[in-house]
């Protein structure tokens, strides 16, 4: 509850209780101006709300404006005014004026003058006012003491309520901050998805702050994590169109000239409505320099001004986003190095046989596409792709004379070939980051009917990742020229894949695989053929 609402509520309680005691009640500002008149009905209300009575009470209140200690004032015309100060955070917010009417008022010249100026019938108005004009000196003394006690008790209750409200606000603020930091801390274990992390932070800020929109704008910089570099992300319902909001944010950030401190702008050009009213830009720092900014605008609620709670929450979020993006950038660099190393290894293996140039890259592409078509998410597809890159790493232990032999292999030579899945598994098993791809390396030559190698696994006993790789591996082997035969036409390859459904391949994977778009695969083969004239692919 706001201070203004709390004061109005307190006055309403005082007004109703005083009215029950037969007192007339006004409310004034701290300067003594009348802001609320008595609510009495009929001739009583018309007389009390007359201009002459309001001027009289305004004069009495104005004489003591600003004071919180005012004695009851006896007005010569037959009224006693009891000023009751209203405090908000120990500061004077206004007065409640409780007025006791004496019987002598009804015979005074002032009473008659008010009736004439208000065109009120004097005898009728006098009869109406007799119901409340009953206070003599002893009654006034008693009611003054009673009203003051009542007002003091209500003020004390209001102070307690305000303290509790302030404490509740502090608890809410602390909870929102802790909840925000917990959410962001919990999401920091996903450095491969920086845009998702930032959107999570923006969403939590929007829930915790009374703004129409929250946004993040990042510099176009190689040191900023991929996925957010140069991007504008926002959540909420701004008055402006999204593209206009992005343009305004970019122009505003350009004016900040790389400042490393928070900026609160008022009437900022380009923002609606009418430039604001206020736009906050909180820098996201990396190595002491802004790598981006969090921005909020169009604050709602009772207070349109940016509060310390708002700035504290933005600073806390920025303090998490900055280190996270730095970690994400390092993770991306390490991942590029890791994938580059795997590609170099697979290329080294493929280079042992000129007829298999680019084979591992193509198998990785086909297997990850198949994984995506059956519902794998991007992270799962990436793992399948890595498995494809290293699935033949064990061929490093197979003599080139066997790999490149143009004719039929002997049984001993074929046995040497069949050992490459186990060799690959042994090479990679001590690399923690490859633990989940090892089943694909070991089992990509297993068959659905159990006649594959190295362990003769069958059906559901074959790891799923190996079933994906086995289908992609066979497709590429049949589609490209090898030392022992030429490339098969595409339709024949498709017919062979369908023919082996349920024998060599998982029957549920065949049709999703054949439904893939092979245009990128064909481009990969064409690039490899340009590098190695021995390689070709049939249409």
Q: Which tens digit of pLDDT belongs to each residue from 44-62?
A: 999 999 988 888 888 888 8
Instruction: Dig out the tokens for 211 from the structure.
Output: 């703004």
Cβ(314)–Cβ(282) below 8 Å: yes
pLDDT (tens digit per residue) in 162-177: 555 545 544 444 455 5
Nearest to 76 by CA among 54, 30, 44, 109: 109
Let me know whether 445 and 309 are in one domain. Answer: no
pLDDT confidence tier of residue 439, bands split at 50, 70 and 90? very high
Q: Which residues contact 367 (CB under 8 A, 6 or more apart)?
A: 384, 385, 387, 388, 468, 469, 471, 472
The predicted pLDDT at position 497 comes to 94
- pLDDT of 146 over the 90 cut: no
- Residue 199, in any domain of the structure: yes
Let me know whether 204 and 157 are in one domain. Answer: no
pLDDT (tens digit per residue) in 256-284: 877 888 888 888 888 876 655 688 888 98
Q: Is the peptide bond before 273 cis (omega within 30 degrees of 0)?
A: yes
Of 306, 323, 340, the domain-final residue: 323
Chain-centroid distance, C-alpha 217: 14
- pLDDT of 434 over the 80 cut: yes
Let me know whether 247 and 381 are in one domain. Answer: no
- The DSSP symbol for 408 reads P
Nearest to 416 by CA among 465, 462, 388, 453: 453
User: In the chain, what percentage of residues exceed pLDDT 70?
Assistant: 83
Other C-beta atoms lying within 10 Å of the C-beta of residue 287: 8
Chain-centroid distance, C-alpha 248: 20
- Residue 536, in any domain of the structure: no
- pLDDT of 89 over the 70 cut: no
Average pLDDT over residues 395-418: 77
Distance CA 191, CA 203 (A): 18
Instruction: Dig out the tokens for 107 from the structure.
Output: 């015979």
- pLDDT of 87 over the 70 cut: yes
Residue with tokens 């929250």: 214
Average pLDDT over residues 404-427: 82
- Residue 363, in any domain of the structure: yes
- Residue 337, in any domain of the structure: no
Let me know whether 102 and 204 are in one domain. Answer: no
Let me know whether 226 and 360 are in one domain. Answer: no
The predicted pLDDT at position 204 comes to 82
Query: What residue numbers bound the domain in which 88 lies?
Result: 3-163
Let me know whether 391 and 294 are in one domain. Answer: no
pLDDT confidence tier of residue 539, bands split at 50, 70 and 90? very low
pLDDT (tens digit per residue) in 150-206: 777 666 766 666 555 545 544 444 455 555 555 555 555 565 678 888 888 888 888
Q: Return the minimum-mean-pLDDT range out of 88-92, 102-106, 120-124.
A: 88-92
The total of structural domains in the chain comes to: 3
Distance CA 118, CA 115 (A): 5
The CATH number of the domain where 270 resides is what? Answer: 3.30.450.40
CA trace torsion 200, 206, 207, 208 (10° rounding):
110
Distance CA 123, CA 125 (A): 6
Residue with tokens 């003091």: 152
Let me know whether 428 and 293 are in one domain. Answer: no
Phi, psi of 199 (to 5 degrees): -60, -35
pLDDT confidence tier of residue 77, bands split at 50, 70 and 90? confident
């Amino acid at each position: 509850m706001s201070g203004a609402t709390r004061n109005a509520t307190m006055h309403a309680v005082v007004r109703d209780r005083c009215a029950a005691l037969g007192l007339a009640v006004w409310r004034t500002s701290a300067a003594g101006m009348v802001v609320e008149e008595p609510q009495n009905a009929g001739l009583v209300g018309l007389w009390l709300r007359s201009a002459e009575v309001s001027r009289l009470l305004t004069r009495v209140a104005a004489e003591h404006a600003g004071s919180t200690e005012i004695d009851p004032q006896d007005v010569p015309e037959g009224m006693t005014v009891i000023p009751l100060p209203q405090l908000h955070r120990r500061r004077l917010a206004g007065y409640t004026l409780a007025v006791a009417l004496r019987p002598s008022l009804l015979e005074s010249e002032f009473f008659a003058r008010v009736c004439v100026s208000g065109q009120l019938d004097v005898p009728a108005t006098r009869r109406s006012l007799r119901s409340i004009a009953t206070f003599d000196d002893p009654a006034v003394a008693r009611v003054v003491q009673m009203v003051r006690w009542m007002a003091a008790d209500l003020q004390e209750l209001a102070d307690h309520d305000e303290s509790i409200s302030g404490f509740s606000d502090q608890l809410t603020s602390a909870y929102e901050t802790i909840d925000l930091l917990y959410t962001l801390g919990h999401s920091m274990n996903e450095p491969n998805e920086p845009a998702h992390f930032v959107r999570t932070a923006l969403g939590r800020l929007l829930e915790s702050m009374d703004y129409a929109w929250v946004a993040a704008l990042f510099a176009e910089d190689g040191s900023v994590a991929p996925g957010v570099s140069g991007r504008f992300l926002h959540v909420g319902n701004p008055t402006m169109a999204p593209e206009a909001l992005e343009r305004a944010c970019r122009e505003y950030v350009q004016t900040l000239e790389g400042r490393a401190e928070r900026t609160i702008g008022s009437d900022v050009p380009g923002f609606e409505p009418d430039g604001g009213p206020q736009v906050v830009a909180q820098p996201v720092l990396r190595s002491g320099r802004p790598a981006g900014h969090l921005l909020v605008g169009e604050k709602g609620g009772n207070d349109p001004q940016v509060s310390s709670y708002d700035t504290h929450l933005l600073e806390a979020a920025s303090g998490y986003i900055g280190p996270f993006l730095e970690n994400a950038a390092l993770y991306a660099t390490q991942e590029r190095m890791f994938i580059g190393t795997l590609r170099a290894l697979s290329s080294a293996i493929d280079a042992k046989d000129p007829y298999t140039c680019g084979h591992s890259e193509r198998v990785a592409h086909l297997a990850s596409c198949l994984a995506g078509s059956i519902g794998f998410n991007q992270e799962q597809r990436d793992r399948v792709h890595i498995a494809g890159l290293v699935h033949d790493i064990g061929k490093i232990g197979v003599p080139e004379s066997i790999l490149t032999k143009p004719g039929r292999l002997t049984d001993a030579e074929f046995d040497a070939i069949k050992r490459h899945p186990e060799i690959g598994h042994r090479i990679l098993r001590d690399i923690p980051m490859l633990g989940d791809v090892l089943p694909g390396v070991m089992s990509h030559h297993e068959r659905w009917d159990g006649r594959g190698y190295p362990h003769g696994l069958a059906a559901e006993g074959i790891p799923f990742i190996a079933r994906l790789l086995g289908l992609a591996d066979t497709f590429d082997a049949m589609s490209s020229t090898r030392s022992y035969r030429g490339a098969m036409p595409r339709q024949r390859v498709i017919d062979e894949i369908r023919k082996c459904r349920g024998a060599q391949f998982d029957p549920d994977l065949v049709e999703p695989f054949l439904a893939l778009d092979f245009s990128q695969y064909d481009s990969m083969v064409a690039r490899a053929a340009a590098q190695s004239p021995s390689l070709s692919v049939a249409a």
